[in-house]
Each structure stands twice: as structure tokens, then as C-alpha cells.
Amino acid sequence: MKVGLVYDPIYLEHDTGNHVENSQRLVAVLAHLERTGAKGSLTLLSPRRAALEEVQMVHDPAYVAAIESKARMGGGWLDPDTVMCPRSYEVALCAAGGFLTAVEAVMKEQVDSAFALVRPPGHHATHDRAMGFCLFNNVAIGAKFALANYDLDRVLIVDFDVHHGNGTQDAFYADPRVLYFSTHQYPFYPGTGGMNEVGTGEGKGSTVNFPMAAGWGDEEYLRAFDEVLVPVARRFRPQLILVSAGFDSHWADRLAMMQASVAGLAQMVGIVGDLARGLCQGRPAFTLEGGYNLEVAASAVKATFDVLLGKSEAIADPLGRSLRTNSSGFEEHIRRIREIHGLQSNC
């Protein structure tokens, strides 16, 4: 299998200082890939800069211009969570373009799958607002690009970041061409992603939220994937699968309270890979979202590559599984979500 890695040192130039979302995230991942020899098994892909018209498929032109202006003026805080430096506008265009490079590579069959190791992340960025460390919504831009440039009318976005991808949901809430599936701690930042948020108009039923209670771990995540994601994906029959890969649901990540492990995250990636092979000729493209424990991020990204390369036996989980999981309320919760989305017991 050929697995692509999209990366460029420009992503380190989004200087956020001591902010939890900082360049050391990518430095740690790359160092681990090199130290373990995993990088040598990957097809390196050089990102391009996203064109303005590509970014504006998702974002208000006035908002894009405001981000450019803020960078020219030296950057600064956009909200209490999100900060820019003078280079952030260019880096954000290259982050969006990096994911477009991943999408292009899988669609042109240059690789079987691809992972865009980019920053800033994107899934919180809305049509006209930066938030949650995000400037431009990389995965939403990728989906709009794929629909506009290839003979596609069904794209699945899987988002397993610990925070709900409100910007991605907003972009496709009324669009039946995009099935958005998200697992996320709830209630938690940004406050969206309730199970009854299912889309509107022609897009009703194309948003599938699986809010997770703090303390749930691998077993609950894997059941959410097996018992909700898999049947809704099979019913939808996507032609392309895009993934917002956040590794902050790990039990050692200090920004949330979920209890997933690296091994569990790898199994989730495996389920996505199986869906891609079974439904759309093996076309998954991943982009990095959250994940702020450096050891976890490095191990989880490598585990993702191991799964995509067909080397699941090579997965290393240095921190092991959590001993603090709590499954309370899960059975009724998953029953209600399956009922909302018309998933009968034989699905």
C-alpha cells in the first residue's frame, strides 16, 4: 500500500508562543516517525497553497480578507482561544492546500490513502469566524473541492476529535451530498453536537452526532463506530471519505476527559479504512485536528500510518489503556442515537 504524508516546514511558522496548539506538536510527530523508521515507508507529498476561490467555497471573502489584514498588522488574538502571528495567514492557506494535496493524491490514485500533517487545525472555523485554534476549515474546504472537481456526489466526513467540529457541521448542515459523523465529548466546547442535531432541509439526516460522556473510553468509541458509523456509511455509500483526526480523546490529553487509548484510536482508524476499501475503492484522506499530549500525538499518528500501511501488528501503545473508564448510561444513549437515525437491530 502507498500511504501519503503531506508536510512542509512552513507549518511551524504559525507561531503561537506558549499556546497549547503550537509547533512542537508537529516536531514531536515527525521526530517519532523518523526515529522509528516509519517515515521511510511513506510517500512524501509537498503541499500547495490553497487558492482564494477554494477557501471561499467555505469562508466569506470578507472574513478571509480580515484574516489577511490581521496578519499584515502583526497578528494577535482573534478570540480567547485563537491567536495569529504575521505568518499565520500564509500558513493557514498552506494548511488548507495541504489537505487539498491529500485529496488530490487519493483521487488521482497516486496513493491509496493520505494524511495531511498540517496546522493550524480547522474544524471549528465557521463561514465567517475563527475559533477553537482554527482559521480556515481544512476538511470542509477539502470536501467542497472534491465535490466541485471530481465526479462525486457523496462524501463522508468522519470527525473523531474530542471537540465537536461545529464549523464543519455548519458548512454541510443542509447539504445531502455530505454525511458528517462526529464523536465528541458533550457537553463541552464549543457546545454544539447534540444527538438531535441531524441536519436541515435536504440535508436532514446527513449529520450524525454521537456525543460522548466524560469517562467513556475505547469500548464506547468502538461501539459508536461499529454500531452507528458503519451502518450509516453503508447506507450513504460514500465515494470519498475524509477524516478530521483529533487525538485529544486520549486519556492522557489534558484538554478533555475522555479515556481512549492509542490502541483504541488505531482501531477506529482501522474501521474507517475498512469502510473506504469496501465502499469507495480505498480513498481515505486524513487531516490533523487536535491532540496536545506530545507523546500521545506522536504515537497515535504513527499508529494511524501503521494501520493505513496494513501493519496493525506493529502498533505501539506506550501509555496503555486507561483504568478510569466509566460506561454509565451508554446503552440507552446508543439506543437513542440508533433510533434517531433509523438504524434497526439488523443494520
Whole-angstrom distance, CA of residue 300 vs CA of residue 264: 10
Is the separation of the CB atoms in 292 and 255 below 8 Å? yes
Contact 248, 257 (CB under 8 A): no
Which ranges constitute the DSSP H helices of the chain? 24-35, 52-55, 61-72, 88-107, 138-149, 166-172, 218-224, 230-236, 262-279, 294-308, 330-340
Residue with cell 493520505: 114
**How buried is residue 231: exposed, middle or buried, by Cβ count under 10 Å (0-12/13-18/19+)?**
middle
| First and final C-alpha spacing in the chain | 30
Assess contact for 301 and 29: CB atoms under 8 A. Answer: yes
Bridge partners of residue 207, in order along the sequence: 180
The grid coordinates listed for 107 are 483521487
Q: What amino acid positions are annotated as catalytic residues? A: 124
State the Rg of the chain over Cα: 18
* Alpha-carbon separation of residue 65 from 68, 83, 119, 140, 268 (angstroms): 5, 16, 20, 19, 38
For residue 91, count CB atoms less than 10 angstroms from its CB and return exposed for 0-12, middle for 13-18, buried for 19 or more. buried
194: its cell numbers = 447534540
For residue 15, the tally of other CB atoms under 10 A from its CB is 16
Mapped onto helix, strand or coil, the DSSP state of residue 3 is strand
